Structures are given as structure tokens and as C-alpha cells.
Amino acid sequence: MLSLLQSAFEKRSALFDVTDAYRIVNGAADGFPGVTLDKFGDRFQVQFFGPEMLSRRREIVEAIVGAFNPVCVVVKERLSRSGKSLENAPMEVAFGSREDAVGIVREGRARFHVDLLDTVNPGLFLDMRHVRLEVEERFRALSGAAQSGEGPRFLNLFSYTCSFSVHARLGGAAVATNADISGKILDKGRENYALNGLDLRPGEFFRGNALEYVRWACKKGLRFDGIVLDPPSFARFKGFNFNVREHLMPLVSECAQILNPHGFFMVSSNYSEFALDVFSRDVLNAVRSVHKNARTAWKRGQDIDFAGSGSTKDSCLVATLVEV
């Protein structure tokens, strides 16, 4: 088992200079069916998505400790004993202390707070790293090309802890607006801004439904040079039930109305029933309902640390970026 871990770790070597937060094991593709292992600095998160290796749980933790000398290992069981997927997963600190589960990770020029015991998600989605880094580079180019005015603006819908916006601001965005239904999550975003030395600017934090914000921004005549739309598969807010299959493409069309010419729009989903080619085509058509000359810059799945991406429901991503 130790050699399997070391082999999986070495496969991610291209990321070592980029970040200290990445996936080391992505299930069967790395020899651990039903298991994922994520590195967040010196903290490690093990998740069991299937029963295949649950009986070897202790052995896996011991191998992680032996291979990586972590300060903390947190184990999460993402399935019930009957095999049903759990969103409120049981969590255990298998090595270290509860206090050790909290820390800071680096990603390019950015830094982010993480807490491995704060629900299933520790504060940073690893499979969007490559897009976050690109957002920063795109805003660096936009800010460098700007001749006058207030500077380029970014909109981050379903913003979670505002990691996309941190990168956008580091790249030179004048304003990076975050919309999320959770005040607690937006507070974590403010903490990430502070961690990166970013001041809080007017209009950057909106607590509410993404569609509500987009319609308000449209009425106010706000426009953005870059938009990221990375929704959960399902969400509920004030009696409105967001379903990604039903509501995503209409929302893409509405977002396109507040996207500046020569801007970019990234749309993604972890919903396992989406096929990348169809998803990318549908996003492009939705944007073209407003911007006739829009083009697809790229379409892709998860990054290199997600070996075997798309082969299981717990490791899937469809993402596409449209330029207008």
C-alpha cells in the first residue's frame, strides 16, 4: 500500500511547484477503489465513496502517516452502511487533533483557508484549480490592456469561499463580485480576501440567489468582463429549488446579457449525467442567444491529479469557457 501511495504521489509531480493542495489518490485509477486522498498542505483528507476498502481503513491511514508525515488526517465516510451516498458524512480525525485540521494552503500566488472538519468540503474545490489560475491570467491580460476607466470587473456566481475572485483580484480585476446564498460562506470569502491582502470593495459580496443577482445587475446596467458560473447540482433558497438540469442553461442566457463584448464566460458542473460535448454545445448556444459571434475557447474535465476522471459519479466535471 505504501508503494501505491508513493507511485500516485509521483504522478502529480507537475503540480508540486504550483500548489500544495491536490488530489493524490482518485479511486481505482490509482489502485484504491472507492477511496480518494486529498492533500491540503500538511493536512490530508481520506474519503470512502464505496465499501471496497473500508475494512482496510486503519491500514490506509497508517500508510499515509508513513508516506507523508502529516500533521492531521481526517477520514470521511461518504456512504451509509446500506451503500447510499451521504452528504452529511461522518468525520473522524484519525491522526493529529481537531485543531490541526485547520490551516492555509497555497495555489499559485494565492492563499486559502481550509478546515477539513467544516462539512464535507474543506473550503477549496481542487478540481477547479486549473480554471482559477486561468481566471487570474485572463484578468492580468485584461488589466494590462485597459486604456482607461474603472478597470475590468468579474462576477463569481455560487461563489462558495470566493477563491475564483481572489485569483481575479490578484490578476488585476477592479471589482470581483461574489454571489452566494450563505452568509457564513461569504464571511469565509472575506477572510480569504484578507489573507491575500485584498481590500473589500463596494458591491463585492451579495448574499442571495444567483439568478436574483443577475436580474438585478441587468436592471442596473452592470456589465462584467469575466463571469464564472459553477453551481451545485441542487440548491434551495427562499422557496426556490435550483436544479442544474432544468435551470442552468436559462441562467447562462441571462448571464450573457451582462457580459461585456470581448469578455469570457466559464460554466461548469459536477452533475454526472452531463456529457462534455453536449454540455459545451448547449452553453455556447445559450451565450450565442445574446452574443452571436461567441466561440468556445476550450472544454475539459478535471485536472491531472484526478486520474480516471469521469469513470465514477464522485469524480466527474464538465467545464467550458466561451469568449465573446
Triad 174, 187, 202: Cα angle to 5°? 30
Identify which has the larger pLDDT, 90 or 95: 95
User: Is position 121 within any domain?
Assistant: no
CATH number at residue 180: 3.40.50.150
User: Is position 203 within any domain?
Assistant: yes
User: Is position 103 within any domain?
Assistant: yes
Alpha-carbon gap, residue 206 to 203, rounded angstroms? 7
pLDDT at 177 (0 to 100): 98
In terms of C-beta density within 10 A (0-12 exposed, 13-18 middle, 19 or more buried), how is residue 14 classed? exposed
Verify that 93 and 156 share a domain, yes or no.
Answer: no
Verify that 65 and 147 share a domain, yes or no.
Answer: no
pLDDT at 280 (0 to 100): 98
DSSP H helix total and E strand total for the chain: 8, 16
Verify that 137 and 109 share a domain, yes or no.
Answer: no
pLDDT at 234 (0 to 100): 86
Verify that 108 and 193 share a domain, yes or no.
Answer: no
pLDDT at 242 (0 to 100): 86
Verify that 59 and 188 share a domain, yes or no.
Answer: no
Tell me what the pLDDT averaged over the chain comes to: 94
Verify that 180 and 266 share a domain, yes or no.
Answer: yes
Residue 144 pLDDT level (bands cut at 50, 70, 90): confident
Verify that 111 and 150 share a domain, yes or no.
Answer: no
Q: Which of 51, 81, 115 is the last residue of a domain?
A: 115
Count up the domains in the chain and report the number.
Answer: 2
Verify that 136 and 222 share a domain, yes or no.
Answer: yes
Verify that 21 and 40 share a domain, yes or no.
Answer: yes
| pLDDT, tens digit, 9 for 90 and up, residues 234-286 | 887 777 788 999 999 999 999 999 999 999 999 999 999 999 999 999 999 99
Q: DSSP H helical segments within 199-275, as ranges?
A: 210-220, 244-256
Q: Which of 115, 150, 176 is the last residue of a domain?
A: 115
Q: Which of 68, 89, 115 is the last residue of a domain?
A: 115
Verify that 11 and 101 share a domain, yes or no.
Answer: yes
Q: What are phi and psi of 147, to 5 degrees?
A: -90, -35
Amino acid at 57: R
pLDDT at 147 (0 to 100): 58
pLDDT at 277 (0 to 100): 98
Residue 84 pLDDT level (bands cut at 50, 70, 90): low
| pLDDT, tens digit, 9 for 90 and up, residues 106-117 | 999 999 999 999
Verify that 49 and 88 share a domain, yes or no.
Answer: yes
User: Is position 281 within any domain?
Assistant: yes
User: Is position 120 within any domain?
Assistant: no
| pLDDT, tens digit, 9 for 90 and up, residues 181-229 | 999 999 999 999 999 999 999 999 999 999 999 999 999 999 999 999 9
pLDDT at 79 (0 to 100): 80
User: Is position 45 within any domain?
Assistant: yes
Sign of the Cα pseudo-torsion (22, 28, 32, 35, in order): positive
Q: Tell me the residue range of the domain where 283 lies.
A: 126-323
Is 70 exceeded by the pLDDT of residue 146?
no
Verify that 10 and 144 share a domain, yes or no.
Answer: no
User: Is position 18 within any domain?
Assistant: yes
pTM, two decimals, is 0.95
Is 80 exceeded by the pLDDT of residue 86?
no
CATH number at residue 77: 3.30.750.80
pLDDT at 314 (0 to 100): 83
